[in-house]
């Protein structure tokens, strides 16, 4: 298989590139040149937001294009149109955020979605991703695979969710643990996303798929236990009622990454029906493996994960945590 990876040097793109290389595929990475692509790839350089930024893609044929773009849909439109006659399929890494909020727990791929336009400049994340989906479908039709990923974790994470928890657990001592302990989580390890995407694309699948682990694949308790096992540190977990956390002015999801209160937002983020993806071969590794491998990667780069400039830093300060715990 000949893969054209649009991106391919960070997090999701890198995981997909490495999976393709492990399969023995021929991989071309198109990127801006800010980070080195994995060894074994061919590199083409260009900026999709610049005039004539796709010039390096004027020639060439591929079996599959994978696109992780999350900005202006017009960039997906231009890439997909340019490649439609020279690539057999186009996998667009979209998001479960394209569903209209609120969405009930158990929403499947036919749930209502936000408005989007393939011709739009960058507006908001959900609308941009929906516009990207429409751009891919406009150019490739049923050859477009729309991978609606949920919360993504694993090695190379540049958003700061699981790395923050791992580093916090590694500090030890009394630690705020947002309850309840059995709160069910829904996420996808980036390597499981990569494997499923390439398998599905190679099999000729098209259309939209929710791509996260089944709801309850892990819980807040099993996640923190996995972090403890990975780091070899057992902090004193102080499970705290959500109401107490909110009263302290601590923001779920951002200041306490991954954690959400049960309710509309929880159902929207952690209530995706993944029956379709499971039938199409999705398998998900245990949370213990995700935590351990992410910790190993973090240690290999000095313990500080890269941070996407378009996303806020995650986590509460030690002072905030101590104040809430009365330390």
DSSP string of 33-59?
Answer: SSSPPPTT-EEEE--TTSTTTTGGGSS
pLDDT for residue 313: 86
Dihedral, 192, 195, 199, 200 alpha carbons, nearest 10: 50
Q: Do both 82 and 166 map to the same domain? A: no
260 and 162 inside one domain: yes
CATH number at residue 53: 3.40.50.720
Token pair, residue 274, equals 């993944």
Residue 203 resides in a domain: no
Handedness of CA 162, 167, 170, 175 (dihedral sign): negative
Confidence bin at 309 (pLDDT 50/70/90) = confident
Q: Are residues 165 and 30 in the same domain?
A: no
Residues 32, 67 within the same domain: yes
Strand partners, 95: 149
Q: Domain for residue 14, yes or no?
A: yes
- Range list of β-strands (E), 150-223: 151-153, 174-178, 184-185, 187-189, 207-211, 218-219
171 and 127 fall within a common domain: no
* Same domain for 172 and 140: no
**Residues 112 and 166 reside in one and the same domain:** no
Task: Establish if 42 belongs to a structural domain.
Answer: yes
pTM: 0.97
141 and 165 share a domain?
no
Structure-token match 């059995």, residue found: 182
Specify the DSSP element, H or E, that contains 77. Answer: helix 73-83
Give whole-number Cα distances, 251 to 103, 186, 316, in Å. Answer: 21, 19, 9
Domain end call among 99, 127, 149: 149
Count: domains in the chain: 2
Q: Which domain holds residue 145?
A: 2-149
217-263 confidence digits (pLDDT tens): 999 999 999 999 999 999 999 999 999 999 999 999 999 999 999 99
Rounded distance between C-alpha atoms, residue 188 and residue 186, angstroms: 7
Domain boundary among 103, 128, 149: 149
What percent of the chain has pLDDT above 90? 95
Is 132 found in the same domain as 103? yes
Residue 312's pLDDT band (cuts 50, 70, 90): confident
On whether residue 277 sits in a domain, the answer given is no
82-120 pLDDT, tens digit per residue, is 999 999 999 999 999 999 999 999 999 999 999 999 999
Is residue 18 one of the residues assigned to a domain? yes
Residue 195 in domain:
no
Last residue of a domain, one of 128, 149, 170: 149
Statement to judge: residues 38 and 125 lie in one domain: yes
- Cα–Cα distance measured from residue 116 to residue 73, given in angstroms and rounded to the nearest whole number: 9
Mean pLDDT score of the chain, rounded to an integer? Answer: 97
Q: Which helix (H) or strand (E) holds 90?
A: strand 87-95
Has residue 276 been placed in a domain? no
Helix then strand count (H, E) for the chain reads 11, 15
Output the domain CATH number for residue 239.
3.90.25
Beta strands at 42-45 and 218-219: parallel, antiparallel or unpaired: unpaired
8 and 131 assigned to the same domain: yes
> Could you tell me the CA-to-CA distances from 245 to 238, 239, 248 in Å, in that order?
12, 10, 5
Question: Mapping DSSP to helix (H, G, I), strand (E, B) and coil, where does residue 31 land?
Answer: strand
């Amino acid at each position: 298989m000949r893969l054209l990876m649009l991106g391919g040097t960070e997090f999701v793109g890198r995981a997909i590139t490495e999976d393709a290389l492990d399969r023995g595929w021929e991989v071309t990475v198109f990127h801006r040149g800010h980070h080195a692509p994995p060894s074994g790839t061919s590199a083409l350089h260009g900026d999709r937001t610049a005039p004539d930024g796709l010039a390096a893609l004027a020639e060439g044929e591929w079996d599959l294009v994978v696109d992780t773009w999350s900005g202006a849909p017009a960039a997906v439109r231009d890439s997909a149109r340019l490649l439609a006659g020279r690539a057999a399929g186009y996998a667009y890494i979209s998001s479960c955020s394209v569903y209209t909020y609120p969405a009930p727990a158990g929403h499947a791929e036919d749930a209502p979605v936000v408005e989007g336009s393939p011709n739009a400049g960058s507006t908001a994340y959900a609308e941009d991703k929906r516009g990207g989906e429409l751009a891919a479908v406009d150019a490739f039709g049923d050859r477009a695979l729309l991978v609606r990923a949920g919360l993504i974790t694993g090695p190379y994470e540049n958003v700061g969710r699981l790395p923050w928890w791992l580093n916090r657990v590694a500090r030890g001592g009394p630690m705020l643990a947002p309850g309840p302990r059995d709160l069910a989580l829904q996420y996808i390890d980036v390597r499981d996303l990569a494997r499923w995407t390439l398998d599905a694309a190679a099999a000729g699948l098209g259309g939209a798929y929710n791509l996260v682990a089944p709801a309850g694949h892990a819980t807040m308790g099993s996640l923190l236990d996995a972090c403890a096992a990975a780091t070899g540190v057992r902090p004193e977990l102080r499970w705290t009622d959500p109401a107490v956390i909110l009263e302290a002015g601590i923001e779920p999801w951002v200041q306490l990454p991954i954690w959400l209160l049960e309710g509309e937002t929880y159902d929207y983020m952690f209530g995706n029906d993944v029956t379709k993806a499971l039938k199409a071969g999705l398998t998900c590794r245990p949370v213990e493996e995700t935590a351990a491998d992410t910790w190993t990667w973090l240690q290999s780069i000095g313990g500080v994960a890269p941070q996407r400039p378009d996303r806020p830093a995650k986590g509460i300060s030690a002072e905030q945590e101590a104040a809430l715990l009365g330390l």
